[in-house]
Structure 1
Amino acid sequence: MTRSPQSTNWISYILRSVVLGLLVAALVIWLQPLVADWQLSRQQSSQPMSFAKAVNRAAPAVVNIYSLSEVRGSYYSRRPSTVLRLGSGVIMDNVGHIITAAHVVANVSSIEIALQDGRRTSAQVIGVDPITDLAVLRIELDNLPVIPQDQNLRSSVGDVVLAIGNPLNLGQTITQGIISATGGRMGVINTHADLMQMDAVINEGASGGALVNSEGYLVGINNAQFRGPAGQGVEGIYFAVPYSLTRTIMKTLIEEGEVVRGYLGINTSDTPAAQVYQQPGIFVTAVDPNSPAAEAGLRAEDYIVEIAGQQISSATEGLALISNTAPGTELEIRYLRGNDEITTTVIIRKLRY
């Protein structure tokens, strides 16, 4: 049977309509997730930036610390007086270990911990490390909030951070800033504390509190404000002990009660001697009397280039190597004195605080 031209045109029209409809339906299905993402992005972009999630995760684990210390009597009053000292701390595990700044609990007669849920309890000092200005306390309470931690966390310059503490006993307070340096001893000379620098404000009472990132993970323990030559505070320059170092010191204090470090007895600097000698090393600015360095013949203005066969790239690296050497160990030190190259042997002692 032969189809008429009208019948053929009608069938062709129907087929074209069906194909077009299928194409439109497929296009709608393909675009639907993209449209949903676009709508979600518009909603999110219209909302103000907030760190509420990070604060809600971390803040319950940051405690207020109240300690009492005695101050000697003066000429006018022979009787000693009791002084209340303020600080902050961070609950690190569910068995009650709290990390704080050592200067918060140094030479105190009693310590009281106030949790954000209203509970208060006394604390026991487990160990103190003056070099890193860290101390570990222990409390006996159940159902403790623990600060979020990531052992693989690595902070970078420019990361946004939040400092949580109890400044001036105003109650828990959050300040925000960025990390401006991660490592080295910015303004803290001849110390083994590898501090990070940031501009989140730390006032009295906030020392020992938590420095967290924008997701609420612990970045460091708030330490101090930078002090100028005359002892005045410098705005915008604050320090914190990095989380990785904090975790190491806490573990050592819990297991051994103290951190044992090697002692050489030198004050150091990186520059400008590196430019003069045209190689990396440690410029000795002073030598402690009766120290291992003095006994080995080291003097001020010597330039150490090698310790125990290892070339030294900076004062930071050299001090770390000495710090990690067990007392009683003999180390060979190669150094430059003027145009002379000298090798000597030192016997490392235990660093006394």
Structure 2
Amino acid sequence: MTRSTPPKNWFSYIVRSVVLGLVVAALVIWLQPLLERWQLERQQASQPISYAKAVNRAAPAVVNIYSLSEVRGSYYSRRPSTVLRLGSGVIMDNVGHILTAAHVVADVSSIEIALQDGRRTSAQVIGVDAITDLAVLRIELDNLPVIPQDHQLRSSVGDVVLAIGNPLNLGQTITQGIVSATGGRMGVINSHADLMQMDAVINEGASGGALVNSEGYLVGINNAQFRGPAGQSVEGIYFAVPYSLARSIMRTLIEEGEVVRGYLGINSSDNPAAQTYQQPGIFVTAVDPNSPAAQAGLRPEDYIVEIAGQQISSAPEGLALISTTRPGTELEIRYFRGNEQFTTTVTITKLAN
């Protein structure tokens, strides 16, 4: 009997098989995450777009506000009548501070808060800032839902937003929209409120509610619908106070009870003088009588280009600088009147709410 001997290429055959197996295993390991991601994307593509996660995170912290106010009697009835007013608010922390719109709680005799879990309680007004149309309330309850917040969050034009409130007392309602502007628009409500513009519908009773992004984070406090020159409602144009501004106002009201702003006493716009003087600035359209601006000699059609040594790039920027200046501070203003350049000093006073 003769013993068979392995072929000469037996060893190389084994090596090639091992190498091939290792290559296949490596490819499987490398491709597995890509395949899983592809499967996940296919599943997501086959599902309808939903903001349920965002609503579930934010909605419990949006409350209904019911307030009573007295209306003076008329010619036909001398007795004053009591009117129920509707609004919405947002629970901002676990100690019970609620942000809402100032016009929701202005001149009211009592305020009741209704949470989405069925609890109801009275509220105390901590502070009101009419300039930004914001108010801070306080309730005494435990285990409060708090709206998700990100202090670094900044909204952009084109972001999807959801407005949450209680329009017409129908119950909590969510409307969807797109951010059209993130601030800096003149002549809207008032120039000191750097409002966001969007088209998420805000009907009566939804003012003061939450404007959140697609992840449920608070981006603004719902404010109002834009009205035309004759006071008529304009569909598709709504406003909210941006979160960063609303949070700053809330902290000031809690700590100091009021927001103190500087007052110059001008109405202004960005145009038409920017092209004439070939540099950005503030075109003065009107000067309030006996205001710091009037006392400093400023007139309509003056063009302010520098305040306190700082070049002004736009009217909102200039007004923001004045607003944050403490009353009693003297500021040097450089401006053009026609082709001549002048410098004057104004003493900033307190802006009345």
Q: TM-score by structure 2 length?
A: 0.95
Number of the residue aligned with 1:87 = 87
| 1:15–1:286 CA distance, 2 compared to 1 (3 A) | closer
Map of 1:270-285 to 2, 5 A cutoff? 270-285=270-285
Does structure 1 retain, via aligned residues, the 8 Å contact 2:186–2:269? no
Matched, 1:335 2:335: yes
Superposition deviation, residue 239 in structure 1: 0.7
Number of the residue aligned with 2:60 = 60
Does structure 2 retain, via aligned residues, the 8 Å contact 1:125–1:138? yes
Superposition deviation, residue 20 in structure 1: 3.9
Letter in 1 for 2:243: Y
- Matches of 2:234 and 2:312, distance apart in 1: 32
Map of 1:165-176 to 2, 5 A cutoff? 165-176=165-176
Q: What are the Cα deviations for residues 89-131 of structure 1, in whole angstroms up to 9, with x where unaligned?
A: 0000000000000000001111000000000000000000000
SS at match of 1:66: strand
SS at match of 1:344: strand
Number of the residue aligned with 1:27 = 27
- Matches of 1:296 and 1:186, distance apart in 2: 24
- Matches of 2:174 and 2:10, distance apart in 1: 74
- Matches of 2:102 and 2:44, distance apart in 1: 43
Aligned length: 352
What is the identity percentage for the equivalent residue pairs of Structure 1 and Structure 2?
88
- Matches of 2:330 and 2:121, distance apart in 1: 47
- Matches of 1:205 and 1:305, distance apart in 2: 42
Q: What are the Cα deviations for residues 166-192 of structure 1, in whole angstroms up to 9, with x where unaligned?
A: 011110011111111111135416521
- Matches of 1:284 and 1:73, distance apart in 2: 42
Which one is further off, 227-236 or 121-130?
A: 227-236
Number of the residue aligned with 1:268 = 268
| 1:247–1:8 CA distance, 2 compared to 1 (3 A) | same
Number of the residue aligned with 1:205 = 205
Map of 1:49-128 to 2, 5 A cutoff? 49-128=49-128
SS at match of 2:252: helix
| 1:15–1:294 CA distance, 2 compared to 1 (3 A) | closer
Superposition deviation, residue 47 in structure 1: 1.2
Which one is further off, 231-240 or 36-45?
A: 36-45
- Matches of 2:308 and 2:318, distance apart in 1: 10
Map of 1:153-232 to 2, 5 A cutoff? 153-188=153-188, 190-232=190-232
Number of the residue aligned with 1:139 = 139
- Matches of 1:292 and 1:193, distance apart in 2: 21
Number of the residue aligned with 2:323 = 323
Superposition deviation, residue 291 in structure 1: 1.1
- Matches of 2:328 and 2:21, distance apart in 1: 86
Superposition deviation, residue 296 in structure 1: 1.3
SS at match of 1:94: coil
- Matches of 2:3 and 2:23, distance apart in 1: 29
SS at match of 2:69: strand
Does structure 2 retain, via aligned residues, the 8 Å contact 1:62–1:115? yes
Q: TM-score by structure 1 length?
A: 0.95
Letter in 2 for 1:228: G
Number of the residue aligned with 1:248 = 248
Letter in 1 for 2:344: T
SS at match of 2:94: coil
- Matches of 2:287 and 2:27, distance apart in 1: 78
Superposition deviation, residue 9 in structure 1: 6.0
Structure 1's unaligned 5+ residue stretches are none
- Matches of 1:16 and 1:306, distance apart in 2: 79
Superposition deviation, residue 37 in structure 1: 2.2
- Matches of 1:19 and 1:300, distance apart in 2: 85
- Matches of 1:137 and 1:43, distance apart in 2: 44
Superposition deviation, residue 16 in structure 1: 4.7
Number of the residue aligned with 1:311 = 311
- Matches of 2:309 and 2:90, distance apart in 1: 41
| 1:19–1:198 CA distance, 2 compared to 1 (3 A) | same
- Matches of 1:19 and 1:275, distance apart in 2: 73
SS at match of 2:83: strand
